[in-house]
Structure 1
Amino acid sequence: MKKVFSALALLLITAVGATAQRPGSVQWSASAKPATHAGEYVVALHAEVENGWHVYSAKQSSGGPLPLVIRVDQGAPFSLDGAITGTSPIQHHDASFNLDTEYFTGTFLLNIPVKSTTQGSGEIPLAVRFQMCSDTTCMPPRTIHLVAKVNAS
């Protein structure tokens, strides 16, 4: 019986340890509203970065971290239509890269202008590629896919 309890305890500790060691995370969400002209939209991309981590912005020097890239999924009846605006990134000299970098921490919002290339479905599919780091660890770049549903108001 003692061996059974020991085995169960070891299994539980291993499972909890594997979960606790999961690296930083970012929670992403997106919604869209019609813009000024017919067929134009503004996608609000909202991100919440886990404390102690940061996501690099779209503007990075060569040889540094991979920049944030936001695209409309291939084959969708939408395209990007202008400059992305929103939360200003933090500018910082990163000793790991020996370069000036830009990144976001905490909660940030990016406004992405999009236009319909045909009669859209009311859902704008996005691909967001990003790299995130802490002060000691960088994660490999990831791509997530989101759908921004168009709100009429």
Structure 2
Amino acid sequence: MLLHHLIYESQATHPFTEEELADLLRKARETNEEKGLTGLLLYAQDGRFVQVLEGNVDEVHELYFMHIARDPRHHHLTLLADGRLNHRRFADWRMGFRPATPEALLELTGHFSTADATFLLPVLPNLPSPLLDKLLDYVQYTVSHPVLEEVTH
């Protein structure tokens, strides 16, 4: 199977409570397990999300375009990366989670000016690996949130 990944950022329409985040992650993990997807969700106190999805291209695109992009709990979706993947970066997580500060998310994605989609054109061939690598490094060197962390069997 050819692997694919998609990374987006969005803004919650209201700040999520811990209970809302736990429910979101539970449902995401169930869906991802059914569809063979893996990934990561970062959430900052200002309501900003950054999410990585990995798996079969059809499953990734269906989930993003048919469900996530239509979810009324967030808006201002910006697609940061969408392309082939040599190997899963978040293979152990149906949907990993890390809390983030707004400053950390800006540092992770801030090297892109997302106000205009043309920011992708000059870097598109090189985009997936550097951003995925930055997100993986962030996860490895930040403290997990025990209540929202995925339990592996």
Q: Flag the structure with higher helix content.
A: 2
Q: Could you say whether these structures have the same fold, taking a TM-score greater than 0.5 normalized by the shorter chain as the test? A: no
TM-score range, shorter chain: under 0.3
TM-score, normalization by structure 1: 0.25
TM-score, normalization by structure 2: 0.25
Q: Which has the higher contact order (CA 8 A, sep 6+)?
A: 2
Larger radius of gyration: 1
